[in-house]
Structure 1
Amino acid sequence: MSRSSPPAQPSSDGGSSTPHVGGGGSSSSSSRKMIAVTATVGAAASLVAAGLFLIYGDAGGGAAREGDKPRAEESGRQGRTLFKVRSPKVTGGADSMDVVGSWVTDGSYARGTGETVVGMDPGSGERKWELPLDGRICHSSERASASGKAAVVVAESRSSGSACDQLVVFDVDSGKKEWQQELPNGGGSSAYETEVAVSREVVAATWEYGSAAYSLSGGSPLWKHDLDDEGDCTNEDLSGGEVLTVVVKCGYSDDLRVRKLNPGTGTSSWESKLPGDAETGQVVSSDPVVVAVDTDPGTGVRTDVMSVGEDGKLTTISLGKEKYVLDPCQLYAESCPASVVDDDFLYVPSLAQGDGDGAQNEITAFDLRTGKLAWKSGAGKHRVIVPLRMEDGELIAYRLPAPGSGGEVVAIDPAAHGKKQEVLLRNPKAGAALESAFVRPREARILYEDGRLFLQQGAVPKSPDPHQKYVSAVFGAG
């Protein structure tokens, strides 16, 4: 598809502003090449999405003590605002609209904008392509395949209340729609709960009582599961990567089970039953398998994390109620932001201590084999830090804007037990207000790829304030 708009024009703060695209009404609740954030992972294509609103507060959790303060190596590149993407207009009677889907490759930054996906140059924001869809984007794969393909579940039409039953796969670099077909999710309310994930060269979708998988290349059906055949079971969560991991709830006692699936065949290599007091479970990582669970009835707070070995054996990491930030885990696929997993550790941010500009916190590493706290890495005075992803054996993290300074991207060396932080990108003070507008809301999404920081809103209001008129802001040294 040819370029559909002229290059972005300079904006008042030195970046450029890409015209808004897409639109529509309300949406449903929702390697070093491909990144999309939460999670994980020992795999080359890692996922990172960070919801940051719960980090701020004064309940529990340890603020970084002077003794925990890491040594920062000030070698980072000075950043600037590269470009901004205007928010789509919310039409109809809705007060807001979910803005679902974002992917980065070497040559493209693709962003879902309601009823359209737009591809831009990741360095300049110049529009490369636009892919109109039949209806609003209901859910998206948080990662793309190694071949550069991503998937979205969209509504069957642009009419209000239309079912989310269309699966679309497209090429992130070119914007070409590879294929589209109707999902066997029964329409109705079940369709609104459909989730989608990419694993190797397979795209899988789950809904309340079933799941199905297709080849990313061509869309040929690979397998289909009907949970009605297993008795009273429902799907709870789905995560992609090298393997597919699903959480199901079964029986009158609502016991939770985590299953590791072969993406191509749908067969389960093992199943592990989660503790009986766990009410909900969300996959934090699929390789290794790590699941966050709620063991405090009625609160929805993720109090424990379960590391599941290849033999199905569980190791419990107890987080408590008011110390660490896993609560942004949402009830849709690959939705545990602000947490990262490698082969050895689970990395989670503590709740910030102090109010307003004085808030500060730390990243805590828990040993996956023992479940015990291994080490901490503080954000520094008046700073808040969140983990993003693993890269070349180091933990990439984001230090949020602070009084008098912009945000920073840092690399933390696990081998040094968090005592060493190397600054990779230092954003300008002039852009701190713009950064802050993106990192405080519940729906914030953060990507870091090829030296660029992509800050994104997950929802836009019908009547935005000045900083809400952008759905994305991109920082970098380029």
Structure 2
Amino acid sequence: MAIGAAVAALLVIGGGVWAVTATGGDEEKDKKPVAGKSDDPKPSGSKGGAPVNPGDGRGDGGEDPEDLNEGRQAGESKVLWYKEAPDAPASGADAPGMWITGETVVKAAYKQVFAYAVGDGKPSWDPITFPEKICAVTPEKTADDKIIVAYMSGSSDRAKCNQMQEIDLATGDKGWKEEVEDGELFDTTLSVELNVSGDILMVGRSQSGTAYDVTSGKKLYDKKRYGDACFPAGFASGPKSIVQVASCGAGGNNAHDEVQGLDPKTGKVLWTYKYDKGWRVERAYSVDPLVVYATNEDKKVWNISTFTSKGKVLEQVGVDEDFAPECGWAILDRDLQGCAGVAVADNTLYLPTEATSGANEIVAVNLTTGKEKWRAKSPADESMMPMRVEGDQLIAYVQPSYDAGGQVVSIATGGSDHKPAKLLQNPQGVADIENSFYSKDIDWVDGRFYISTTRLTGNDESKEKLMLAFGK
């Protein structure tokens, strides 16, 4: 879906031109979406061939047989270790998730889960191999460093993504195992989404959800169709909250989306916010606090709203920009939390602008007022993406180019100087490999930068890397 700049009505606010939607009536006191121009988020990066290496993803670490650090220049980081991607079918395979503890990096790929020591990449425990391909994972680990992996029930077209397995990231031990039941008619487990909030695991099907105790695998409750032909279309979770996005009255005159705050332990609806007809809730940039990105295809506009803990719209982002976080495709499934390049901390939203020519910028937005606080320009001609906030510093990643490796930079979140300071300059000699991660997961932990692929091509002639770790 392409969101262009055409609008139904225009309003001049503070020198900027804004698209404005109709409200739901005088009696509606909540602020309704006010939108500006935007393009749909797209994955970025280039398709480059990584060195041919018939690895199985296991590796033994501690060596550099491809001499990736050869010719490293003064001041450049080094490749601490790297792993080759395991064999995948010609049609490709998913490699979802990347979880980092104090000692171990864990990565899923096709039918396996691998674990590597953070410092030298040596195996932390033997790979776990499932009988069928992995189809979903919990993006975040639990408080006690566990993850849940879902894999297919078989290899036929009728196979379901319904086999769940708990894994201990520290030891590789398998915990509880459960099978997700299908819902009602047309509500299947052909695909599922897994979200963790505290000790609650929410499993989202196409039109419903089921909550489990994440420590035992015990089923707790279901979230099903309700009211005026409403059904759960997606879930998003934070450390203490779960929100449900419902699609209501599909195809009718009253078609609309609703956002609901849930009590994670019971599933009780704490509040409901109804979007006007024509608006589709696309992403949840954050859950604690709740920051929602929605689009209106008919009016060709978008809206970013921040909500109070009681489900009232606190404010809407009023910055005239084309923002471009890296978001996966979500045509049939909502994938509400499938965006990278977005950070929220201390009542501030950090978003990257789209690079039309040359360097882009990161914009800091006050979530209470919706106004811009400051912006920082990328130190290179390549795009800069927020990763996380550490203390009073925003950590960001600058994409590599053909003649320079990527960078990790810090930006002061307070004060008046927001010039990026370089923390890590990745080597130019590995830029083509770093740039080959078209669909990727990135993280910065304890002075190390990790980049891994989230999609295997299955191309035997140019096997890509599964993961690289950079450091000083």
- Structure-2-length-normalised TM-score: 0.78
2:367 paired residue number: 368
Residue 351 (structure 1) aligned with residue 354 (structure 2)? yes
* SS at 1:90 equivalent: coil
Deviation at 1:263, TM superposition (A): 2.1
Deviation at 1:8, TM superposition (A): 5.5
2:448 paired residue number: 452
2:430 paired residue number: 431
Percent sequence identity over aligned pairs: 24
**CA–CA distance in 2 between the matches of 1:381 and 1:327?**
18
Deviation at 1:115, TM superposition (A): 1.0
1:22 paired residue number: none
Contact 1:305–1:319 under 8 Å retained in 2: no
**CA–CA distance in 1 between the matches of 2:307 and 2:460?**
43
Contact 1:77–1:424 under 8 Å retained in 2: no
1:124 paired residue number: 120
Deviation per residue, 1:387-411 (Å, 9 max, x gap) = 0112223211011224643221112
Residue 12 (structure 1) aligned with residue 7 (structure 2)? no
Which of the numbers 227, 238, 241 marks the counterpart of 1:241?
A: 238
Shift in CA distance, 7/423, structure 1 to aligned 2, threshold 3 Å: closer
**CA–CA distance in 2 between the matches of 1:231 and 1:134?**
41
1:461 paired residue number: 457
Deviation at 1:286, TM superposition (A): 0.6
Shift in CA distance, 246/459, structure 1 to aligned 2, threshold 3 Å: same
Deviation at 1:462, TM superposition (A): 2.4
Which has the bigger relative contact order, CA under 8 A and spacing at least 6?
A: 1
Deviation per residue, 1:390-441 (Å, 9 max, x gap) = 2223211011224643221112111125624332222222222221112xx2
AA in 1 matched with 2:260: R
Contact 1:13–1:430 under 8 Å retained in 2: no
Deviation per residue, 1:163-198 (Å, 9 max, x gap) = 111122211111111111111234987213311011
Larger radius of gyration: 2
* SS at 1:437 equivalent: coil
Contact 1:151–1:198 under 8 Å retained in 2: no
Deviation at 1:275, TM superposition (A): 4.0
2:420 paired residue number: 421
Contact 2:138–2:149 under 8 Å retained in 1: yes
**CA–CA distance in 2 between the matches of 1:319 and 1:461?**
38
Deviation per residue, 1:316-356 (Å, 9 max, x gap) = 22566x721147253325212221112322111111132xx
Shift in CA distance, 284/407, structure 1 to aligned 2, threshold 3 Å: same
Contact 1:404–1:429 under 8 Å retained in 2: yes
* SS at 2:188 equivalent: helix
**CA–CA distance in 2 between the matches of 1:444 and 1:108?**
19
AA in 2 matched with 1:339: V
Residue 405 (structure 1) aligned with residue 459 (structure 2)? no
AA in 1 matched with 2:87: K
- Structure-1-length-normalised TM-score: 0.77
1:109 paired residue number: 105
AA in 2 matched with 1:90: A
AA in 1 matched with 2:338: S
**CA–CA distance in 1 between the matches of 2:135 and 2:369?**
39
Deviation per residue, 1:245-272 (Å, 9 max, x gap) = 2211112433112222222222232222
Residue 392 (structure 1) aligned with residue 391 (structure 2)? yes
1:257 paired residue number: 258
Deviation per residue, 1:53-80 (Å, 9 max, x gap) = xxxxxxxxxxxxxxxxxxxxxxx98521
**CA–CA distance in 2 between the matches of 1:311 and 1:411?**
34
Contact 2:61–2:82 under 8 Å retained in 1: no
Contact 2:208–2:232 under 8 Å retained in 1: yes
**CA–CA distance in 2 between the matches of 1:196 and 1:128?**
25
AA in 1 matched with 2:335: Y
Residue 336 (structure 1) aligned with residue 326 (structure 2)? no
Map 1:209-224 onto structure 2 (within 5 A): 209-224=207-222
**CA–CA distance in 1 between the matches of 2:470 and 2:299?**
40
* SS at 1:430 equivalent: helix
**CA–CA distance in 2 between the matches of 1:186 and 1:449?**
39
Deviation at 1:217, TM superposition (A): 1.5
- How many pairs are equivalent? 401
Residue 181 (structure 1) aligned with residue 178 (structure 2)? yes
Shift in CA distance, 325/318, structure 1 to aligned 2, threshold 3 Å: farther
AA in 2 matched with 1:283: A
Residue 470 (structure 1) aligned with residue 471 (structure 2)? no
**CA–CA distance in 2 between the matches of 1:122 and 1:327?**
25
* SS at 1:304 equivalent: strand
1:40 paired residue number: none
**CA–CA distance in 1 between the matches of 2:276 and 2:286?**
18
Residue 293 (structure 1) aligned with residue 294 (structure 2)? yes
**CA–CA distance in 1 between the matches of 2:233 and 2:374?**
32
1:85 paired residue number: 83
1:306 paired residue number: 305
**CA–CA distance in 2 between the matches of 1:123 and 1:196?**
29
Deviation per residue, 1:285-324 (Å, 9 max, x gap) = 110001111122397xx8221111123222222566x721
Deviation at 1:15, TM superposition (A): 6.2
Which ranges of structure 1 fall in alignment gaps of 5 or more residues? 17-75
RMSD: 2.6
2:93 paired residue number: 97
Contact 2:59–2:84 under 8 Å retained in 1: no
Contact 1:86–1:470 under 8 Å retained in 2: yes
2:280 paired residue number: 279
Deviation at 1:114, TM superposition (A): 0.7
**CA–CA distance in 2 between the matches of 1:83 and 1:327?**
25
Contact 2:384–2:397 under 8 Å retained in 1: yes
* SS at 1:432 equivalent: helix
Which of the numbers 177, 184, 199 marks the counterpart of 2:197?
A: 199
Residue 380 (structure 1) aligned with residue 379 (structure 2)? yes
Deviation at 1:6, TM superposition (A): 4.3
Deviation at 1:14, TM superposition (A): 4.0
Shift in CA distance, 177/401, structure 1 to aligned 2, threshold 3 Å: same
Structure with higher helix content: 1
**CA–CA distance in 2 between the matches of 1:298 and 1:461?**
37
Contact 2:165–2:174 under 8 Å retained in 1: yes
Deviation per residue, 1:183-222 (Å, 9 max, x gap) = 1234987213311011112211111222111122121222
1:60 paired residue number: none
**CA–CA distance in 2 between the matches of 1:11 and 1:418?**
43
